[in-house]
Every structure is written in C-alpha cells, then in structure tokens.
C-alpha cells in the first residue's frame, strides 16, 4: 500500500507545477490531474513526477497531522531534506 503525503502547490506553469512537501520542492506534471489547481492547493503525487488528485485543504492538513503522528521519523527526515535543499539554494 502506498501512502501519499499531500504536497502543497507553490507555483503553476502551464502543465507543470512546483510543489512543496515539508520544505522539499519538486517539479511535477499536472497532465494526469482530474481538476485544475492553483498555488496553495494540495495534491497527491504518484510515481514521483505526477500530481494526480487534488486534496481539499482541510483534509490535506488533517492527513499531514495524521502522518506526523504516525510517522514522526519520516516527517523529520523530509523536513531535514527540505532544510538542506533550502540551504543549497533550491
């Protein structure tokens, strides 16, 4: 089973977007999305490169709270990676 951490859309450029997961930022394709997104929205990612499902903001925040509760080490790792990326200027 594949858990999916909601990624926050930072910017949209045509059919791609930059998303943020605890400070880690990635470019993802929006081609497989079933609905339009804008900055501030949350999406689920599949196969690393694709945003596939829009998640209501309150549900996304609840999901993150749940995952932070269940997997604190995982979330800490993501935050560490995000901080390192920010320091490297990404």
Partner 1 sequence: MPEPRAPPQPKPGNSVDDSPQHAALLGSSPVGLAWPALEQWIRLDAASVDGRLVARTLTSARADGIAGALAGRPVQSVPRLLPQLFPLCGTAHAVAGVAAIEEALGIVASPAELAFRELILLAEHGAALGWRVLMDWAPLIGQPPEAHACGEIRRTAAAVGATASAGAERGHWARIGGTRRRPDRNGLGRTVSEIARRLVDLFPEAADPVLSLGGLERAMQRGASIPARMISGARAGALAEYGRHDRPLLASRTADWFAARLAAEPGFCRAPTLDGIPAEVGPLAAQRHPMVADAVAQWGPTLATRLLAAALDAPVVAQRLQRTLDRLADADPVEVDLARSGCGTGIVETARGPLAYFIEVEGGRAKMLRSVAPTEWNFHPDGPFMAALAAAPRLPDPVLAARLLAASFDPCVPLRIEMAPDDRPPPNAGSAHHA
> Would you say 1 or 87 has its CB closer to partner 1?
1
Give the distance, in angstroms, between the CA of residue 79 and the centroid of all CA atoms in the same chain.
12
Residues in Cβ contact with 7 at an 8 Å cutoff, skipping those fewer than 6 apart: 19, 20, 21, 26, 28, 42, 43, 44, 45, 51
Question: Distance between CA 15 and CA 20 in Å, rounded?
Answer: 17
Taking residues 44 to 63 in sequence order and writing x for each that binds partner 1 by CB under 8 A, - otherwise, the string is: x-xxxxx-xx-x---x--xx
Residues from 4 through 43 that contact partner 1 (CB under 8 A)? 4-6, 16, 18, 21-22, 24-29, 31-35
Structure tokens at 19: 């998303």
Applying CB under 8 A, the residues found at the interface with partner 1 are 1-6, 16, 18, 21-22, 24-29, 31-35, 44, 46-50, 52-53, 55, 59, 62-63, 66-67, 70-71, 73-74, 77-78, 80-82, 85, 90
């Amino acid at each position: 089973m594949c858990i999916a951490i909601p990624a926050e859309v930072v910017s949209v450029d045509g059919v791609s977007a930059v998303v943020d997961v605890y400070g880690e930022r990635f470019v993802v394709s929006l081609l497989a999305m079933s609905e339009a997104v804008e900055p501030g929205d949350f999406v689920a990612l599949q196969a690393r490169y694709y945003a596939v499902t829009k998640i209501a903001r309150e549900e996304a925040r609840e999901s993150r709270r749940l995952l932070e509760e269940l997997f604190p080490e995982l979330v800490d790792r993501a935050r560490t990676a995000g901080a390192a990326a920010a320091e490297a200027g990404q």
